[in-house]
Amino acid sequence: MILEGKKILVTGVTLDTSIAYAVADFATQQGAQVIVSNIPRAVSLTKRVVKHIDPTPEVLALDVNDDEAMANLPDQLRENGFDHLDGIVHSIAYANPERALGGAFLSTQWEDVAVALQTSAFSLKSLTVSLRELLGSGSSIVGLTFDNSLSWPSYDWMGVAKSALESTSRYLARYLGPDNIRCNLVAAGPIDTIAKKAIPGEVDFNKVWAERAPLGWNAKDAYPVGKAVCALLSDLFPATTGQMIHVDGGLSSTGA
């Protein structure tokens, strides 16, 4: 029960295959009071999916690119009994799969790049600032990434956005540290989520992990990643911030 009594917002819960779902489910098992969010057009789907979590969390409609929605978010949380937050999970990303992914890197226009950067990276900062009044000493922010220290086939501008996310997390750690608020990322191996399946050639990632991950890798099991996120949300890492923890079967540690 490493999250006993903690109040946690988990964004980006869509299907039960998502990492965010695994986080919300395991956090609940570990004693947390969880509330989840998704983009407005997918809220009805999220509400059906989270019924399998016991107790079932409330679901908020949230577009992180909508300034009004972000301004109203603290009040929405208070209305649902969240007068403070002990943890925030950022599981939000988007890039146009036809114009910004799949080998289109050289032809992608700024309009599509801007959407990818705002949704996937800047939103970590905007979400944190929106909820700053609810965070206190000991609070933890955890984002999800796919390590972009190397280039990946087809990942293109989403890879650039993930690099921006990783840098954003480090700067949040710098500026929130004096208030004893931590910010870290978990770099996951490929999980068969709806977002991953939008990447052209995404099955090739599974093949690479199957061949090279020292511990092996199950792309259909998001819970190893979810458990790592919950560990960082807990009080077990009180002096860890600005870090990117790999949960990828060890592939990031291996050479050719």
Q: Which residues are annotated as a binding site for NAD(+)?
A: 12, 18-19, 63-64, 92, 162, 191-195
What single-letter DSSP state applies at residue 57? P
Q: Are 155 and 148 in contact (CB under 8 A)?
A: yes
Task: Tell me, rounded to whole angstroms, the distance of Cα 245 from its chain centroid.
Answer: 13
Q: Which residues are annotated as a binding site?
A: 12, 18-19, 63-64, 92, 95, 162, 191-195
Identify the bridge partners of residue 87 per DSSP, sorted by sequence position: 8, 140
Query: Could you give the CA distance from residue 8 to residue 38 in angstroms, rounded to a whole number?
Result: 15
190: preceding bond cis by omega (within 30 degrees): no
Q: Are 119 and 163 in contact (CB under 8 A)?
A: no
DSSP-derived 3-state class of residue 140: strand
Backbone angles phi, psi at 219, to 5 degrees: -70, -10
Query: Could you give the CA distance from residue 185 to residue 228 in angstroms, rounded to a whole number?
Result: 10
Q: Which residues are annotated as a binding site for substrate?
A: 95
Structure tokens at 106: 């050289």
